[in-house]
Structure 1
């Protein structure tokens, strides 16, 4: 039976009080998806609200010369998400959970109880946990059954303060991911320069720093699942 990957997409489509749209970042799902499909994995796509999860239109524009992302927009099997609540108590059915980035997860997945519960269940069942760019924002409020924080003492990466400053969004996001990861007890690391590729594997926790890291993160997830 093919391994199954549970993907959690954001349902949040507004960038704070700016009036601008946001959502999940196209290439950060498209590139890992390509790796998962090539490995023969089954991919189940969910979001807190279900239905169409908003893709950040900026990410579509930025990926217009990326064949993987352009082709991904044509795939039918990710476009309508199932409600995440339908997957509570079902971690045993899956090999891994994956959270793509985009600014949306900072607003909903970081605080959604359903997301926190599903991720905690996957962790407690020894499944692979993966997230890229702002996706690790979904991990920052997850505690395990014994009360310990999911990320305590773990080496992780995610979108850096420097990268957020370059985007001009440090005052828009509800928190700075780099700071928050450190605050909850993770050992945060990053590429030497902004936008550099950085993927960190700490046991079954796999994180990527930014869009450029998405493909390598997908490969790391495939490797971890196949070795489990």
Structure 2
């Protein structure tokens, strides 16, 4: 059975504000739902381990989100995430980073997680991320010294979407700009529309609407 390491943030607020934050629930639950449907195993890890902050758990009409959140096994995992220091990356076939603003304050600069991801990628592993999740790709440097992104085409949450969402003034940095400066190419479609980009073993999705499709693309590559 294929196995994915889902890496989530420990940061509980939007940047330095007091606005409750963390991982945006639907970007996690919709991908987890795809994994469950397709028989893909997964663990959830974070830098520090323990209970991971999530928000967007009360979205009306999102049955997938509600269903996964109601699952006892899922709750046990999200409340007891593995510390990244205890992860044996050789056990996994892919790493997935769901979005939410929290990771802009930890995973976007964490060199321990980045080194683990680089090792995984160079051993043939897959990397996938959605919305703000691609921020976790920023610190990944390969053994050549080159940034992973320097030869990759990616997408992520856009400037327009930050403006629409009312977060443009509170985010630690603008992800679209950071990725545009570092990646070979940054692409986007109109705000809130689905976009998934697969560049070899790096899969990125633009926004919450792209989460399901990122899960599908990841499983398709895993199953070869």
Q: What is the TM-score normalised by the length of structure 2?
A: 0.95
Asked if the contact 2:57/2:69 (under 8 Å) is kept, the reply is: no
Asked if the contact 1:91/1:125 (under 8 Å) is kept, the reply is: no
Answering whether residue 196 of structure 2 is matched by residue 203 of structure 1, we say no
Distance in 1 of aligned mates of 2:60 and 2:115: 36
Runs of 4+ in structure 1 over 4 Å off: none
Give the SS at the match of 1:172.
coil
Q: Could you say which residue in structure 2 is the equivalent of 1:13? A: 12
Q: Could you say which residue in structure 2 is the equivalent of 1:189? A: 187
Count residues in correspondence: 220
Once the two structures are superposed, the pairs formed by residues 12-161 of structure 1 within 5 Å of their partners are 12-56=11-55, 59-61=56-58, 63-75=59-71, 76-77=73-74, 78-79=77-78, 80-87=80-87, 90-161=88-159
Report how far residue 16 of structure 1 moved: 2.3
Q: 114-123 or 2-11, which moves further after superposition?
A: 114-123
Give the SS at the match of 1:120.
helix
Q: Could you say which residue in structure 1 is the equivalent of 2:169? A: 171
Q: What is the TM-score normalised by the length of structure 1?
A: 0.93
Structure 1 residues not aligned, in runs of 5+: none
Structure 2 residues not aligned, in runs of 5+: none
Distance in 1 of aligned mates of 2:2 and 2:15: 37
Map Cα deviations across residues 49-105 of structure 1 (whole Å, 9 max, x no partner): 11110002xx123x2311110011122233221101212xx3322110000000011
Q: CA RMSD in A?
A: 1.1
Asked if the contact 2:5/2:92 (under 8 Å) is kept, the reply is: yes
